[in-house]
Structure 1
Amino acid sequence: MNSLVFFCAQKVISDHASTRKALDYIPREIYPVLFKAAFLDIRTLVLRDVVQRWPFSILNFSTILKRCKHCDRDVIREKPNKQCLQAVIMGVKDYLMNELRQNRTPTNRKHRMLRVVDLTGLQDDGDRQDADTIGQWSRTVALAKACIDISRTSKRDEYSSSKRRKGKGGAPLDGACDSQMCVEIHANLFITSNSYATVRDALQIGKTSPLCLKCRDLRAEELSAKKTVSILELLDPAVLKKIELRYNNLGLCGLSAVFPYFPMFGNLISLKLPYSNIDVRHMTPEMEESFQSMVSAFSQMPNVKELNFASSRLSGRIRELLSVLQKPLESLELAYCYLLPTDATYLANSHHAPFLRKLDLSGNNLSDVLLGPFCQILQHSSTSLVYLDIMECRVMDRQLASFLPALKQCSQLQYFSCFCNPISSQGLKALLHTAVQLPVLKIVVHPIPVDCYEEGLPWPPSTYDLIDYSIDQEKLSRVDSELNEIRLKAVRTDIVTTVELYNDFSLDMLQLY
């Protein structure tokens, strides 16, 4: 339900000309409602005017677009409309140019308000193409170009103004921007080789431009070590909270140039290095030195709560890497890391286990010697674990039966995935009988039961067999009905069971930031 105030706001913004005339007379408390109404109804001209006259020091998307007493729609959880975001950027540019021009004329100097525009809460569009929304990469480029454009425009205007002031006591240009005249854009930046130069230029001019780009979460893909370092050197340590470097294929030796920069960011709470070609199984002296450099960097990061080493071959080195962390981890992703029993045993008994909220062990072999330590991990993290993924871990009915008692203790679990494991329909039903007893469980991603494939499925089946082999749809439909019956009898129709990889699960409850 929307409040009367919100309905009135929608009525006001329905006519742009009238809204523009009325903005100076509307109480400042109504501006956030007008902003949300304009964003929802895609009133881009109104949105641009509202931003241009924003009466507060901070314009925070997460605060304004979330569910509130005036509008129960949680717009911040939706992918942002491209036109609306462009209108906001234009509104900020209009605001700054007006302020710059007025403040060059002392008689027109006004008390300014806007200092920070916070876009960090916006959703990404992932891999889905949508002409009406704008993803993180496109947002990054648009914001970088806006910073560059306004820097160039302000310098041209300042140059013209200084020429007019010659002989009248006009101050010469010094190349720097008065800090009181700057607006900071806080955003999550996604940088690739294609956008690197534009984003680097925008970050470089931050100290001299009226519009300064600040990065809270950095995601960089396929960048060289040199380019990664050049970006890290330009980021504000007080603002940055997350670093994600992926698909760079640098290995330990290549990343050794990057490791020393991590401790610079005292507020860093999340570090992700998936698909970085880290392999500790056959170490050269140079690689060992690089690994120790990483360990040293980790020991100097006091606030890290989240680590992702997906597809890094860290066999036998987990203790050495994680024991130096000063605070317990809340999120740990070790997918396809070739873990050994010593790694799993350390993790089960480490200071991290009781605090883990997200754990991804996908691709590690839980069918043999890792099974016992895995059960211990579940037991020791049973009061904290929210998200658990053991996709493609070679789990069969016997292993499933071994850890179901430990899984049953995970009272906070909301998401569980055992996708692409060779489990039978009987094993799957046993899993669901346990799942319905978990009070807050929402999602179960399970494999297609092995007895629902056509005859001739190789045993034990490989991942490719489980994905590509022909399925007996009649048998699968019968199992689906049986699973649904279990949910109905337990009055747990709120649990979603699916054989599809589930990418829409929100991890906001982790509250890592």
Structure 2
Amino acid sequence: MEARTAVVWVDNYSGSIYPVDFESEPTPACQKNKTPQMKSLVDTCCNYIVRDSSMTLEAIETVPKDLCIPLMKEALLTNKDRAMEVLLTHWPMESFSLKSLAPNLFTSLMLLYNDSYLSEVVRQGMRYTTTLVHRFIQGLKKGHPNKLKYLDLTGYPTAEVVLFYLSTHCLLAHNETRRKSLVEKFNEAASIAYDVVDDRNVLEPVDSSFPDNCKLIVKLDAFVTSESTFAELCKALKVSTFPASKVQLCIQRLGAIQLGAPAINLILRQMNTKYVTALQLHYNSLTCDDFVTLIPSLKNLSNLTSIDLACNNMNFSTNVTSSMHIAECLGSLPKLVRLDLSNNRVKCLLRQLLCQVTQPLQYLRLASCALRLNDVTYLSLSHHAHGLQELCLGSNGLNGMTDELRKLFKAVKSTLKILDIEDCSMLDQDLFLVQSYIADIDKLLFVNLAENILSVDALKSFVEVIAKNISVQCVRLSYPRECYLETRFNDDSLKVLLVNDLQNIVNKSCKTHPRTKPIQIILVESSDVEMMDLEF
């Protein structure tokens, strides 16, 4: 268990692999201070019933079968494990889809800036999948009669230990079936040989952990970081292709982290590629040449909509030939709309990488990619600009590129919702030149300008302009450079004064530009400021 109990990386579940519904409110299941919601009479009764598993069992034996759905919804919403087990073992239908019963957890802008909320979202999703997998497998092993043939857990992260547990039971069911078949063949041969052999040796029948008529398909999102889980999952996926397999695994989203190119290639070859929609390859030390070895497997992922290649060692600018093959691969994925190339060196090759992707990207993350002037220029002129809803250019030196940035913001004016330009070395004069173009983006919901060393006047000016855009709901900023003077090291009065001034600016703007939703200004400490060396 040593590797399988590794710390869960919350960052693995944010970003491109799980699209966020920014228009929805935070799900009540992940909020500590929940606001009571008005429930229907049916939901109120179901909420009362699932509090006790015995009452749940008694209810499902008498109420119409259709009421199993609201009962399960309430059991999931209130985390009633015993009630879930009772409902699963008596599920009246052949299919169970978690995303149609549980609330969508990946909602609200809080996922972009609140790590505590993101952590709670991940925990809640794992709580759902862990409970359902464990309770259902145990119910099967106990011999509970069940109609369920298809268990769909996609849309919610599965803990690695649960993935290992499910893989081992998939292999267990296969091995028992295979052993049972061998014993039956041996006994049949022994019975035929009985006429000529005096000493007949008959093997005892094999006891099965699963019912003989068991046939279950489990569809899920898998995140693998350890070699032990990787080995079990590969074997389970291989076994799942056999017609006689009692438990079959089907993966929709795959996160393969810290495994390396050979392991990724192996697991991709074992998967049923037509179901895969998202692929995350964080921290695998992939070079451009390593990625080229994955291309034959990746080209089979015809339904892939999202690929995350962040935090690898791909230097596209020094591997032009490999970059051409990678660009061709990206262009061969007909449904790709979400791409993360963060922490790989793009440097002047963005056009070459993206020009063959025919459909406009909706999500593009290019943090720490050493972007240059021609990269930003291409982005403003490309067909992707007219489809982008989320754009991250963080940790790139964008100062001095104001003309290109203005063209880019103008190009994405009608579609962009999320703009992240954190730590881009932007100065006051840069922000003054682009802020009106940012404020003119029609559907903009979130702007991140943190870690840019700006003055008090620049921040006030920006907030005054952006607050006039009634669609903007959240602005993330760092405290201004004046707060980090040596003379103010232990003095927070300027920070307090700034907060009050920004609040007054927002209040004044709301009077002239009425809002349906409030705007939130988030101020964070700057991590890159040297107290003694500030220059004005």
With normalisation by structure 1, the TM-score equals: 0.80
Asked if residue 263 in structure 1 is aligned to residue 295 in structure 2, the reply is no
Query: Secondary structure of the residue that 2:160 maps to in structure 1?
Result: helix
Matching of residues 106-505 of structure 1 within 5 Å: 113-122=147-156, 136-152=159-175, 182-194=215-227, 195-208=229-242, 209-281=245-317, 283=318, 287-368=319-400, 370-455=401-486, 470=489, 472-491=491-510, 494-500=518-524
CA distance in 1, matches of 2:220, 2:257: 17
**Displacement after TM superposition at 1:36 (Å):** 2.2
Other-structure match for 2:85: 48
CA distance in 2, matches of 1:267, 1:350: 24
Q: 1:5 to 1:95 in 2, by over 3 A?
A: same
Other-structure match for 1:23: 60
Equivalent pairs counted in the alignment come to 449
With normalisation by structure 2, the TM-score equals: 0.76
CA distance in 2, matches of 1:81, 1:295: 34
Equivalent position amino acid for 1:332 in 2: L
CA distance in 1, matches of 2:293, 2:126: 37
CA distance in 2, matches of 1:4, 1:219: 41
Q: What per-residue deviation string (whole Å, max 9, x for no partner) do you get for residues 460-505 of structure 1?
A: xxxxxxxxx946411111101111111222236821211349xxxx
CA distance in 1, matches of 2:266, 2:406: 44
CA distance in 1, matches of 2:66, 2:184: 36
- Is contact 2:256–2:282 with CA below 8 Å preserved after alignment? yes
Equivalent position amino acid for 1:371 in 2: T
CA distance in 2, matches of 1:348, 1:81: 37
CA distance in 2, matches of 1:84, 1:268: 25
Identify the range of structure 1 (198-207 vs 226-235) with the bigger mean alpha-carbon deviation. Answer: 198-207
Q: 1:234 to 1:388 in 2, by over 3 A?
A: same
- Is contact 1:453–1:472 with CA below 8 Å preserved after alignment? no
CA distance in 1, matches of 2:69, 2:168: 26
**Displacement after TM superposition at 1:247 (Å):** 0.9
CA distance in 1, matches of 2:60, 2:185: 33
Q: 1:455 to 1:488 in 2, by over 3 A?
A: same
**Displacement after TM superposition at 1:56 (Å):** 2.0
Query: Secondary structure of the residue that 2:423 maps to in structure 1?
Result: coil
CA RMSD, 1 decimal:
3.2
CA distance in 2, matches of 1:211, 1:471: 62
Q: 1:399 to 1:53 in 2, by over 3 A?
A: same
Equivalent position amino acid for 2:152 in 1: D
Q: 1:237 to 1:367 in 2, by over 3 A?
A: same
Q: What per-residue deviation string (whole Å, max 9, x for no partner) do you get for residues 404-428 of structure 1?
A: 1211211101111011001111111
CA distance in 2, matches of 1:78, 1:248: 22
**Displacement after TM superposition at 1:184 (Å):** 2.0
Asked if residue 11 in structure 1 is aligned to residue 34 in structure 2, the reply is no
Other-structure match for 1:109: none
CA distance in 2, matches of 1:409, 1:402: 13
CA distance in 2, matches of 1:237, 1:408: 42
Unaligned runs of 5+ in 2: 1-37, 105-119, 193-204, 526-536
Identify the range of structure 1 (250-259 vs 424-433) with the bigger mean alpha-carbon deviation. Answer: 250-259
CA distance in 2, matches of 1:360, 1:45: 43
Query: Secondary structure of the residue that 1:246 maps to in structure 2?
Result: coil
- Is contact 1:89–1:146 with CA below 8 Å preserved after alignment? no
Q: 1:30 to 1:273 in 2, by over 3 A?
A: same
Q: 1:418 to 1:139 in 2, by over 3 A?
A: farther
**Displacement after TM superposition at 1:439 (Å):** 1.9
Q: 1:36 to 1:163 in 2, by over 3 A?
A: farther
Other-structure match for 2:110: none
Other-structure match for 1:93: 137
Q: 1:500 to 1:60 in 2, by over 3 A?
A: farther
Equivalent position amino acid for 1:276 in 2: N
- Is contact 1:43–1:84 with CA below 8 Å preserved after alignment? no
CA distance in 2, matches of 1:471, 1:296: 55
Unaligned runs of 5+ in 1: 68-75, 103-111, 125-134, 457-468, 502-513
**Displacement after TM superposition at 1:156 (Å):** 5.9
CA distance in 2, matches of 1:268, 1:483: 43
Equivalent position amino acid for 1:381 in 2: V
Query: Secondary structure of the residue that 1:268 maps to in structure 2?
Result: coil
Q: 1:296 to 1:3 in 2, by over 3 A?
A: same
Q: 1:38 to 1:214 in 2, by over 3 A?
A: same
- Is contact 1:47–1:84 with CA below 8 Å preserved after alignment? no
Identity %: 22
CA distance in 2, matches of 1:14, 1:391: 46
Equivalent position amino acid for 1:237 in 2: T
Identify the range of structure 1 (272-281 vs 390-399) with the bigger mean alpha-carbon deviation. Answer: 272-281
CA distance in 1, matches of 2:43, 2:455: 53
Identify the range of structure 1 (192-201 vs 240-249) with the bigger mean alpha-carbon deviation. Answer: 192-201
